[in-house]
Structure 1
Amino acid sequence: MRFANPLRVTSGPLLAVIVAVGLVAVPVDGWSQSRGPASVADLADGLLSAVVNISTTQNVAPRGPGRVPMPQLPEGSPFEEFFGEFFRDQESRPRPPGQGASLGSGFVVDADEGIVVTNNHVITGAAEIIVNFSDGSKVDAELVGIDTKTDIAVLKIDTTGRSLRAVSFGDSEAMRIGDWVMAIGNPFGFGGSVTVGIVSARNRQIGSGPYDDYIQTDAAINRGNSGGPLFNMDGEVIGINTAIISPSGGSIGIGFAIPSNLARNVVDQLREFGETRRGWLGVRIQPVTGEIAESLGLEEARGVLLSGIEKGGPAEGVLEAGDIIIGFDGVEVVDQRELRRIVAEAPVGSEVQVEVLRKGERKTVTVKLGRLEEDEEVASAEDEEGVDEPPVAEAKVLGMSIVELDDEARATFELPEDVSGVLISEVEEGSVADQQGIRPGDVIVEIALTSVSTPKEVLDQIEDLKAQGRKNALLMLANKTGELRFATLRMD
């Protein structure tokens, strides 16, 4: 039975009257459908003073490297048309010459220290940052630190003579699709606006950075809500409102918030160090596709395949190219995005247990994490061009394990000095390389008539050929006598 209104009279042998305090519920197939809380007035009343408006004055000309980038979306994606609220519109919005103004939201997380959290894109390029309170007062804020990869900024204000209300982070992982949430912020400059909705989805990717893991909500979020809190019904912050999809700049019920479990770690590091210090594994990774899973005899495509180990990185000598990471420090690894996130969140210098599948056997190894520098990533075989990456000490590609051809390798395989290229140290039985008669000790001199001298160059050439739609890779090989030959390997 569905009720369009709180009270409905129906004809027939059965007349049901349902009365609830706070909720109107209808049992359907053993489940109780809830129309939500009758009121969030008490909850909102206790939280409004902890939510602030952020205003800035900006030098318009310099945009600065810290500006949150427009998501790189697939051509023809429905998201492509609608991502304007926090990205393209910011570039095209007319402003008076000289100084510009920005309005956003934020919230107090430490009343004693005067710590305020907001979005990085709210304060990027600001010459002055002002925190405005619900009672009409305002105070200048200083920037503690920013993280461009997650779009989070931490501010500090003087608390002298001021009594602040702070809110705390909750557990975003505990939120379920359909749970009620409440957003408070400064939409279109209307401070202290409260909206209510549900968690529409979790783990959303919108292409804004390497750690995309957004909560999607239908609680109304509009321009000016950026940096404001998304609360659960216990009054805990479970997200930071960041972006919306909208053809007009107004809410259509698709908003995105940074999960609190990701934000809390970033905020703590910015407060302690003024910067983020993320864990670094030092590997190149690629997804485990259905074809790869089948070729390795796996029941399902899961985990992350290591296509290379970076020279001098934490994983060198511990992990191997061809390993499939299925667990990291007790957390199951499903895909690349999850591995990037949990590695980055792990403390620098910590020793973590990494569970891998190696040649069909399950193994657990210990890796001491390094620190991820700004120009490094958890390494993907699909990384964008123009990013300087550390050298790859070894890699696995097309059924071959490849390494640098150094003096030790020359001695091991008795290779003369006039042979140059990338050494094939192992060949997987039954692989395309094995079928073409390639053996350990052979040296890859060229790929597609392009010379290669490092494992990374081999990986890059293979990726380039795939990007061109090629199905085969032409390799020039040298053996220990210096004799050259060509071999064609299928790449699919």
Structure 2
Amino acid sequence: MKSSTRILMSLIAAAAFGGMAATVLTDLPRQARAAEPAVPAPLPAGVAASGLPSIDGQPLPSLAPMLERVIPAVVGVHNTRRVQVSPFGNDPFFRRMFPEMSQERLDQSLGSGVVVDAQRGLVLTNHHVIEGADEVSVTLSDGRTLPAEFLGSDPETDIALMRVESADLTAIPLADSSTLRVGDFVVAVGNPFGFSQTVTSGIVSAVGRSNVPGIGFQNFIQTDASINPGNSGGALVNLRGELVGINTASFNVRGSMAGNIGIGFAIPSNLAGSVMRQLENSGTVRRGTLGVDTQTVDARIAQGLGIAEARGAVVTRVHEGAAGARAGLRTGDVIVGANGQRVDNAEALRNIQGLQPVDAPMTLSVLRDGRTVEISTRLTELPRDGASYDPRLAGATLSDLPEALRRQTDRISGVLVERVEPGSAAARNGLRAGDLIRAATGGQFHDLSGFRATLAGQPDALVLLVVRGGRQYQLRLQ
């Protein structure tokens, strides 16, 4: 009997029978036993020769042996933040006038993590579990609490990597999550609501899920295994005890504290492993891009292009020197597939690109002149230092807007200023960390690719439209 079939039978049996009644055997007279040949006494109904519960003489399988290997590798993650609390609340005037009245308070939260490399002490968790932490520690299944060293995190995929020092850790091997199918059995292990080492089971409800509100680049495993607050960062494993996903979110229209309703999401192990390797090497994640601007194909655009179905991402601009230009993409091409995945709109194409590292191969299915063509290229990385765009921006570190922010509204676009070095050209020109650059002298743009194209000619008069603190400013750069 195959393992999965036997486990299914065990689940059915467990649901059908709350317990198993013991059968009392009447002892035979000693004289009769002595006179008769030795015959094994019949086993009680529902008991196999091994003494375990059974069906048709076959021992019922259990998840316990697998979980004995998995549970020691799932840890509790404790996030401690120091915050200043003032009796005047958030009133900025009184907080400045009476700073001595502020008191330090420790805010603590609990999530989960997974040891994925016992030799090096590597622990995967969610970015949102450790975000803003001043101190992070992990609690092992045997009760030991160890300080954790933060190695890096990626808010866009919600993956964070830590390291702990211990000689006797247990790790979970990573599975190939691309082989998961809808209907496969999975088990979630974590610390929901602070109840440590909690195990829930279910099936894979869907793969390749996206469009989950408030999260960046997405390619989730959906499961009906219960995932509640505190499960974040924990393990989703297959029946062999291999890691197929990092639990990250549950969906409930009434909010996460309303409890589980059977719609949970996990980051596939292949994606988590790719991000982990980049974080271990450099502490950051480098993403590739095609270097094109696109727009979702609606009914009006479909009619104008003469295509039958209103779906896909139409190329509205190809940036010189980028991966798309080298591959021969043209304005008016409609991208309907990428690396074997369906592309229904511009957001889907951004999501697929955002999950790929620099130099990753990308094969596009493109509608052009009434026929479908295949175009292959490798994704490139755009520089983030301002000097690469214009000398007047030297000292600024730029980035695309967080994908989670883009998903909240279609009206936000531009480039984010992450850092500005004191005394640099960017600082002298009035740029500050947190500024959103919406437009430049050459026009509006959606992201770093568009910003670079706008500044390609390095105009003599460079004016930036900047949003800061909810207000718009014009900065004339010298």
What is the TM-score with the length of structure 2 in the denominator?
0.62
User: Do the aligned partners of 1:172 and 1:239 also contact (CA within 8 Å) in 2?
Assistant: yes
Report the Cα distance in structure 2 between the residues aligned to 1:357 and 1:225, rounded to whole angstroms. 43
Identity of aligned residues (%): 40
Please tell me the residue identity of whatever aligns with 2:275: V
Report the Cα distance in structure 2 between the residues aligned to 1:310 and 1:227, rounded to whole angstroms. 38
Q: Which runs of 5+ in 2 are unaligned?
A: 1-11, 18-45, 86-102, 385-397, 416-437, 445-452, 458-464, 466-478
Change (3 A) 1:359 1:23: farther
User: Do the aligned partners of 1:323 and 1:358 also contact (CA within 8 Å) in 2?
Assistant: yes
Partner of 1:359: 369
The alpha carbon displacement at 1:394 in A equals: 12
Q: Find the residue that maps to 1:375 and give its secondary structure.
A: strand
State the structure with more CA Rg: 2
The alpha carbon displacement at 1:241 in A equals: 1.2
Report the Cα distance in structure 2 between the residues aligned to 1:274 and 1:211, rounded to whole angstroms. 18
Report the Cα distance in structure 1 between the residues aligned to 2:228 and 2:15, rounded to whole angstroms. 29
Give deviations 1:457-489, integer Å, cap 9, x for gaps.
Answer: 9xxxxxxxxxxxxxxxxxxxxxxxxxxxxxxxx
Report the Cα distance in structure 1 between the residues aligned to 2:173 and 2:246, rounded to whole angstroms. 12
Please tell me the residue identity of whatever aligns with 1:215: I
1:321-340 pair list within 5 angstroms: 321-329=331-339, 333-340=343-350
Give deviations 1:138-196, integer Å, cap 9, x for gaps.
Answer: 2111111110111110001123xx12111122233332333221111111222111111
Report the Cα distance in structure 2 between the residues aligned to 1:391 and 1:349, rounded to whole angstroms. 29
Report the Cα distance in structure 1 between the residues aligned to 2:128 and 2:118, rounded to whole angstroms. 24
Instruction: Provide the alpha-carbon RMSD of the alignment.
Output: 4.0
Q: Find the residue that maps to 1:113 and give its secondary structure.
A: coil
User: Do the aligned partners of 1:105 and 1:228 also contact (CA within 8 Å) in 2?
Assistant: yes
Partner of 2:203: 198
Report the Cα distance in structure 1 between the residues aligned to 2:325 and 2:336, rounded to whole angstroms. 18
Match 1:170 to one of 165, 168, 175: 175
Report the Cα distance in structure 2 between the residues aligned to 1:196 and 1:22, rounded to whole angstroms. 21
1:116 is aligned to 2:123: yes
1:238 is aligned to 2:248: no
User: Do the aligned partners of 1:287 and 1:303 also contact (CA within 8 Å) in 2?
Assistant: yes
Match 1:285 to one of 290, 294, 299: 294
The alpha carbon displacement at 1:47 in A equals: 0.4
How many residues are aligned here?
A: 343
User: Do the aligned partners of 1:310 and 1:391 also contact (CA within 8 Å) in 2?
Assistant: no
Partner of 1:60: 83
The alpha carbon displacement at 1:98 in A equals: 1.9
Partner of 1:11: none
Q: Find the residue that maps to 1:292 and give its secondary structure.
A: helix
The alpha carbon displacement at 1:386 in A equals: 5.1
Q: Find the residue that maps to 2:336 and give its secondary structure.
A: strand
Q: Find the residue that maps to 1:48 and give its secondary structure.
A: helix
User: Do the aligned partners of 2:156 and 2:402 also contact (CA within 8 Å) in 1?
Assistant: no
1:91-490 pair list within 5 angstroms: 97-159=104-166, 162-202=167-207, 203-246=209-252, 247=254, 248-310=257-319, 313-316=322-325, 318-329=328-339, 333-350=343-360, 352-371=362-381, 375-376=399-400, 383-385=410-412, 387-388=414-415
Report the Cα distance in structure 2 between the residues aligned to 1:4 and 1:237, rounded to whole angstroms. 25
Report the Cα distance in structure 1 between the residues aligned to 2:226 and 2:362, rounded to whole angstroms. 41
Q: Which runs of 5+ in 1 are unaligned?
A: 8-17, 26-36, 63-95, 396-403, 409-456, 458-492
Report the Cα distance in structure 1 between the residues aligned to 2:259 and 2:310, rounded to whole angstroms. 40
Give deviations 1:298-328, integer Å, cap 9, x for gaps.
Answer: 3434432112234554334632221112343
User: Do the aligned partners of 1:114 and 1:157 also contact (CA within 8 Å) in 2?
Assistant: yes
Report the Cα distance in structure 2 between the residues aligned to 1:5 and 1:345, rounded to whole angstroms. 41
User: Do the aligned partners of 2:216 and 2:402 also contact (CA within 8 Å) in 1?
Assistant: no
Report the Cα distance in structure 2 between the residues aligned to 1:43 and 1:392, rounded to whole angstroms. 62
Please tell me the residue identity of whatever aligns with 1:208: G
Change (3 A) 1:181 1:390: farther
Report the Cα distance in structure 1 between the residues aligned to 2:331 and 2:188, rounded to whole angstroms. 46
The alpha carbon displacement at 1:392 in A equals: 12
Stretch of structure 1 that moved more, 46-55 or 336-345: 336-345
Report the Cα distance in structure 1 between the residues aligned to 2:53 and 2:372, rounded to whole angstroms. 52
Please tell me the residue identity of whatever aligns with 1:53: G
Change (3 A) 1:390 1:189: same
